[in-house]
Structure 1
Amino acid sequence: MKVVIDEEKCVAAGQCVAAAAEVFDQRDEDGIVVLLNANPPAELADDVRQAAAVCPALAIRIEE
């Protein structure tokens, strides 16, 4: 699994961090998503998929 984010689409809602804090964070200055791990381990796959699903801006893409 590879995670790709589009910072331009991000609206700083923080849903990704709530779903998968091990993979996503937010910048302090504006709340835009920060990708902590572009290739998360298999045990985090469900959380990452959930994060992508709840992103209101569809800023997270998953490549299997």
Structure 2
Amino acid sequence: MIRNVLSEKDKVFSMEKIIEEDPDFIFVQAMGKVDKLEQRLKKDVESNSAWSSIKAVKMIDMVRRMRV
């Protein structure tokens, strides 16, 4: 079952909230050039060790390894 970890009352989310909820998926909506956005997201995730504890990020890493 997919559920939104942010409820209606959560107007703003934080890194702490994402870590606490430990989601299986993280959907990112952004505007701009896809390649630049992907590079920025990758840089942000790799530069903050807190991201590595999240299931969704672990899954991305596993998928990358399977592609090689």
Report the TM-score, using the length of structure 1 for normalisation.
0.32
Q: Which has the higher strand share?
A: 1
Structure 2 length-normalised TM: 0.31
If each structure's helix is expressed as a fraction of its own residues, which one has the higher value? 2
Which of the two has higher C-alpha Rg? 2
